[in-house]
């Protein structure tokens, strides 16, 4: 199936608990009926995580950025 871009690559600086920031870029896309949020490191474009969004979850940009923070905190803690 083809990938439909919902939000093209967007740069963001995410504040973490420890007072540090993480520079990332993210994209939201749909494959079939499933939405994904993909995060990459802004410096070297290394893949950080791809999150499958729950059914019907289509958010606005500020909501995606809040979600980024929680996913990053979870990925870093793992």
> And the tokens for 26?
């993210």
Place of tokens 């990938």: 3
pLDDT by residue (tens digit) across 26-46?
999 989 888 899 999 999 999
pTM listed for this prediction: 0.78
Mean pLDDT of the chain: 83
What percent of the chain is predicted at pLDDT more than 90?
Answer: 32
Higher-pLDDT residue of 11, 57: 11
pLDDT tops 60 at residue 78: no
Give helix then strand counts, H and E, for the chain. 1, 4
Q: What is the mean pLDDT of residues 50-57?
A: 79
């Amino acid at each position: 199936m083809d990938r439909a871009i919902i939000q093209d690559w967007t740069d963001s600086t995410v504040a973490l608990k420890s007072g540090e920031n993480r520079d990332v870029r993210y994209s939201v896309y749909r494959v079939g009926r499933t939405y994904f949020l993909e995060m990459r490191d802004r410096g070297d474009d290394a893949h950080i995580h791809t999150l499958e969004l729950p059914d019907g979850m289509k958010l606005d940009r500020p909501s995606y950025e809040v979600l980024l923070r929680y996913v990053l905190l979870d990925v870093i803690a793992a």
